Amino acid sequence: MRIRDMIRNRNVLTMSSFTAMFFLGVGSAIIGAASRNIGLSPYQIGLLLATQNIGFILSVITVGILADSTDKARLMFAASLIIAVSFFFFYLKDAFILNLGIMLIIGVGIGGYEGAADAMLLDIHERREGLFISVNHFFVTFGELMIVIYLIFLQMNWRESMVQSAAAVLVLAIIFSLSRVPPRKVVTENFRKRLAFLGKQRPVLVLFLMASCAVGIELSLIGIITTLLMEFYGFDQVTSKLGLVAFLAGIAAGRLLLGVLVRKSQLLKYILTLFGLTAAVLSCLLFASPGKVMAYILLIVSGATISVIFPLIIALTGLKYPEMSGTVMGIIKLGIPVGGIVVPLMLSLLVQATSFRAALVLFPVIGIAGFMLVLSYRNQLKFKV
């Protein structure tokens, strides 16, 4: 069934994609949210997260490549089935090595969602691509936020939440198994030819670096906000967690509100402006010593400014390379694990060399670097509207 024949079902597919990304957020945040409930040591947490990232890297690029020549609903079905099974079995038995393998499979599943969901939305929506991808990634943050609230604030049984999530994702798998989203144009060139072509495209490298900057800031801040607030602003265990919720709420709100405002012709302008605003707001938050109320406000605003940069970069990528959007978006999305690894590593090295407070300058500097990348290559990043 071709795209024009299934327009009547695109709302169902769109909502299914949003729901899938919600559970991507759950899968990404489950270790951080449930580690105390499980009784994991910092060493075990590090191994689990690293293993999940390995699965994600292998999956997102593979599924991205397949999305250019394979029915995307089939790819979403496979990813849903993988996530449903792995959610159900995660820490069903208390054997760390077994659960390390299950975490690898969870990484494969969420990488499958990242590799196929945005490409599917670009195929079924010919307008407002930036809006749909921004809202798609809003649901990632919403999933992260809900699992934190569900497990930390409400103190509910985390295993029950995994079983419930597995059941919900299994329903998604059924929906995707009954759907059809073939590519608008099947790419016949093999991967080597596509890779050789993309290797000569400077914009691909620039987009990858931009994505790494945006994701690196976002994920690193999520990791250090509670420590930062307790260390420098006198927050306690509860209020520092509320600070993290404020930052995540800012991200979620930004992806909804800014996603509505952005038009296709304004993608570059918004990315440029938001990188600059991120650097400015983070400078105020990290170095101006605001009071507690102002700190909460700045956390919400900083979350909003960083919120849509990555989704807009993904939308820009798909519009820049429409004939092989899946492959290129898969490459750009490697910026998620790269940014999530490199920026925290740089922060750790700076803390060792200077101090925690001095090392925080890294975040505004990365924001400025993203701003300069867009400014320097804006002509090469333009696409046909």
Place of tokens 């999956």: 59
Q: Is residue 59 part of a domain?
A: yes
Q: Are residues 166 and 205 in the same domain?
A: no
Q: Decide: helix, strand or coil at residue 288.
A: coil
CATH number at residue 201: 1.20.1250.20
Q: Is the pLDDT of residue 7 over 60?
A: no
Q: Are residues 20 and 139 in the same domain?
A: yes
Could you tell me how many residues make up the chain? 385
CA dihedral sign of residues 26, 246, 137, 60: negative
DSSP string, 197-218: HHHT-HHHHHHHHHHHHHHHHH
pLDDT given at position 232: 85
How confident is the model over 358-372, as pLDDT tens digits? 888 999 999 999 999
CB 34 within 8 A of CB 158: yes
The amino acid at 105:
I
**Domain boundary, last residue among 156, 183, 210:** 183
Radius of gyration over alpha carbons of the chain, in Å? 20
Which percentage of the chain shows pLDDT scores above 70?
A: 89
How confident is the model over 126-168, as pLDDT tens digits? 777 777 888 888 898 888 878 777 766 655 577 888 888 999 9
pTM: 0.80
**Domain boundary, last residue among 183, 207, 231:** 183
CB 307 within 8 A of CB 141: yes
Q: Are residues 175 and 208 in the same domain?
A: no
Q: Are residues 63 and 130 in the same domain?
A: yes
How many domains does the structure of the chain reveal?
Answer: 2
Q: Are residues 173 and 224 in the same domain?
A: no
When pLDDT is cut at 50, 70 and 90, the band that residue 300 belongs to is: very high
Q: Is residue 385 part of a domain?
A: no
pLDDT given at position 197: 67
The DSSP output letter for 153 is: I
Q: Is residue 188 part of a domain?
A: no
Mean pLDDT of the chain: 84
Which percentage of the chain shows pLDDT scores above 90?
A: 30
How confident is the model over 204-213, as pLDDT tens digits? 889 999 999 9
Q: Is residue 57 part of a domain?
A: yes
Gap between the Cα atoms of 157 and 29, Å rounded: 16
Q: Are residues 59 and 153 in the same domain?
A: yes
pLDDT given at position 195: 66
